[in-house]
Amino acid sequence: MNQPLAIVTGAGSGIGAAIAIELGRRGFHVVATDLDAAAAQVTARAIASAEAHPLDVTDAAACDALVARLVDAHARLDVWVSNAGISKMQRFVDVAPADLARTFAVNTYGAFYGGQSAARAMIALGAGGCIINTASMAAKKGGVPFLADYVASKFAVLGLTQAMAYELAPHGIRVNSVCPGFVATPMQSRELVWEAALRGTASEVVKQMWIDDTPLGRLQTPDDVAKVVAFLASPDAEFLTGESISVNGGAFMD
Ligand code: NAP
């Protein structure tokens, strides 16, 4: 196959679906993966050259097995996007050990395992590659309410991105993150309800607070993020590694 191969996790919804579709538009053969296999199928059907596979990113052996199957079939791996993530809003003092463990399992360990599987395959193939992690504005700014476990899990992703970039550079593998702000996705819809309840106000009030916090004056779309991921995956970013690119309409500047 001549087309470059990109694998995206959490591609059945929101930002991951937009990333998969944008990479498809730019000529990749896209593998849409998700915990929800049917949702991944829906995304794949929107892309000219694509396939869908179930993948739970908390399962390291499953990440390895899927990458091995795909590399066997396509004889290449150009881009891996660790995008799957979860959030649950609650006060710091109320976060139960099981919630903390689940948040880290998906957001941090998931990016670690998937990155390892992709890197092992890319090293074996010897043709370099590109790994992109979907982190968050909350990976750079701890001053966000009701997301302590999420913030901790995403700060870890930024450290991981730098460590991976450093170790994998000799193999021609670039590793970067994107850090979205307030993106209109199913995750955001859940957060609107939680934050409104925790603040004792209405979802519309919270939504307006988020827009007011964003100098460019609107909520983000998944496409805003996908276009930056596509840039990171492109030759235009060939000398860019270890970075965590904020794409948040100015809601947090660093
Ligand atoms: P979303 O709409 O909830 O989509 C996340 C997708 O990941 C869902 O399809 C979900 O499947 C899947 N997923 C959850 N656990 C998984 C697992 N263990 N293995 C594989 N897939 C799994 O969320 P989103 O807003 O698009 O978020 C995508 C990424 O962007 C996340 O890493 C999130 O932290 C990050 N982010 C989002 C925002 C925002 O404002 N929305 C801001 C900054 C960063 P199920 O639906 O079946 O659980």
Query: Could you read off the pLDDT of 122-153 as tens digits, one per residue?
Result: 999 999 999 999 999 999 999 999 999 999 99
Amino acid at 79: V
pLDDT of residue 104: 98
Q: In the chain, where are the structural domains located?
A: 5-181+222-247
Cα of 205 vs centre of ligand 1, distance in Å, is 24
Query: Could you read off the pLDDT of 48-107 as tens digits, one per residue?
Result: 999 999 999 999 999 999 999 999 999 999 999 999 999 999 999 999 999 999 999 999
Cβ burial of 176 (10 Å; 0-12, 13-18, 19+) is buried
Mean pLDDT score across all residues of the chain: 98
Predicted confidence (pLDDT) at residue 155 exceeds the cutoff of 70: yes
* Ligand 1 atom showing the smallest separation from residue 184 Cα: 41
pLDDT tier at 205 (50, 70, 90 boundaries)? very high
Residue 6 structure tokens: 């990109």
Q: Which of 185, 194, 207 to mutate to test the pocket of ligand 1 (most atoms within 8 A of CB)?
A: 185
* Ligand 1 atom showing the smallest separation from residue 84 Cα: 7
Return d(Cα 113, Cα 235) in angstroms, integer.
25
Predicted confidence (pLDDT) at residue 2 exceeds the cutoff of 90: no
pLDDT of residue 237: 98
User: Where in the sequence numbering do the catalytic residues fall?
Assistant: 150, 154
Predicted confidence (pLDDT) at residue 19 exceeds the cutoff of 80: yes
183 lines ligand 1 (CB under 6 A): yes
Share of the chain above pLDDT 70, in %: 100
The alpha-helical segments, DSSP class H, found in the chain are 14-25, 37-45, 60-74, 97-104, 110-125, 148-168, 186-199, 203-212, 222-232
249 lines ligand 1 (CB under 6 A): no
pLDDT of residue 90: 98
pLDDT of residue 59: 98
Predicted confidence (pLDDT) at residue 228 exceeds the cutoff of 80: yes
pLDDT of residue 169: 99
pLDDT of residue 1: 58
Over residues 199-223, the mean pLDDT reads 98
36 lines ligand 1 (CB under 6 A): yes
Amino acid at 38: A
* Ligand 1 atom showing the smallest separation from residue 138 Cα: 43
Over residues 5-31, the mean pLDDT reads 98
Cα of 170 vs centre of ligand 1, distance in Å, is 31
Question: How much helix, strand and coil, in percent to the nearest 5, is found in the chain?
Answer: 50, 15, 30
Contact 219, 187 (CB under 8 A): no
Inter-axis angle of helices 148-168 and 97-104, nearest 10: 30
Q: Regarding beta strands 244-247 and 173-180, do their DSSP bridges make them parallel or antiparallel, or are they unpaired?
A: parallel
Predicted confidence (pLDDT) at residue 24 exceeds the cutoff of 80: yes
Whole-structure pTM over 0.95, yes or no? yes
Return d(Cα 129, Cα 232) in angstroms, integer.
11
Residue 168 structure tokens: 């994998």
Look up residue 138 and give its DSSP letter. G
Cα of 55 vs centre of ligand 1, distance in Å, is 13
24 lines ligand 1 (CB under 6 A): no
82 lines ligand 1 (CB under 6 A): no
For domain 5-181+222-247, give the CATH superfamily: NAD(P)-binding Rossmann-like Domain (3.40.50.720)
Look up residue 242 and give its DSSP letter. S
